[in-house]
């Protein structure tokens, strides 16, 4: 995985909470670097989970942050920066797949550990991990995206709801049902 650049620690990085950092960076675009440093890893992980290709994920991460920086003046602070950023990420990734004339999110080239088993927290052994990856790869793109937003990008339910244009409760229910279905399929495959 691409090692994100680390800004030198300073008092502004340590003392500003996330909302304050966003407001400060809007007032002073030079602080966008700190916003980038905070979000580059989750954005990259999301892009990698969606593409399964390191080079594509790195390129997309750069494009996503370029687009975010270009749109920086239009961001209206509503306490939902993650939703705004991952909406840009989602649109950029979808555009990437459209430009490749592919509407499916393919993970064929992804290594078996492309989806971090610790994040999913539902499997212990490597054979279960491989089976879970197979089950996730077989899901429709929308369900894969839901898993990626929650467990790879680690977004809150409210932010996922905004990214997907759905209600928060609907997102929670969809994810819990999906988890239950995957768990049942995992258990059935071991019987």
2, part of any domain = no
Split into its structural domains, the chain has a count of 1
119, part of any domain = yes
74, part of any domain = yes
> Which residues of the chain are under the pLDDT cut of 50?
1-15, 102-125
Residue 63 structural domain: 11-189
108 CB-near residues (< 8 Å, 6+ apart): 52, 137
Residue 159: the pLDDT is 93
Residue 126: the pLDDT is 64
5, part of any domain = no
129, part of any domain = yes
Residue 99: the pLDDT is 79
Q: Which pTM was predicted?
A: 0.68
Residue 29: the pLDDT is 84
Residue 101: the pLDDT is 53
6, part of any domain = no
Residue 23: the pLDDT is 87
3, part of any domain = no
């Amino acid at each position: 995985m691409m090692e994100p650049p680390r800004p030198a620690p300073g008092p502004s990085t340590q003392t500003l909470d996330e909302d304050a950092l966003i407001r400060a960076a809007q007032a002073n675009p030079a602080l966008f670097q700190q916003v980038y440093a905070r979000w580059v890893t989750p954005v990259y992980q999301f892009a990698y989970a969606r593409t399964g290709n390191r080079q594509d994920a790195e390129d997309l991460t750069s494009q996503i942050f370029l687009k975010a920086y270009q749109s920086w003046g239009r961001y209206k602070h509503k306490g939902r920066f993650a939703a705004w950023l991952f909406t840009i990420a989602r649109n950029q990734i979808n555009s990437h797949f459209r430009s490749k004339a592919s509407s499916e999110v393919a993970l064929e080239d992804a290594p078996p550990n492309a989806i971090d088993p610790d994040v999913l927290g539902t499997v212990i052994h490597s054979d279960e991990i491989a089976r879970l990856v197979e089950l996730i790869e077989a899901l429709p793109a929308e369900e894969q995206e839901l898993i990626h937003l929650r467990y790879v990008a680690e977004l809150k339910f409210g932010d996922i709801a905004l990214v997907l244009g759905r209600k928060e409760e609907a997102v929670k229910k969809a994810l819990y049902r999906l988890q239950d279905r995957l768990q049942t399929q995992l258990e059935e495959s071991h019987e």
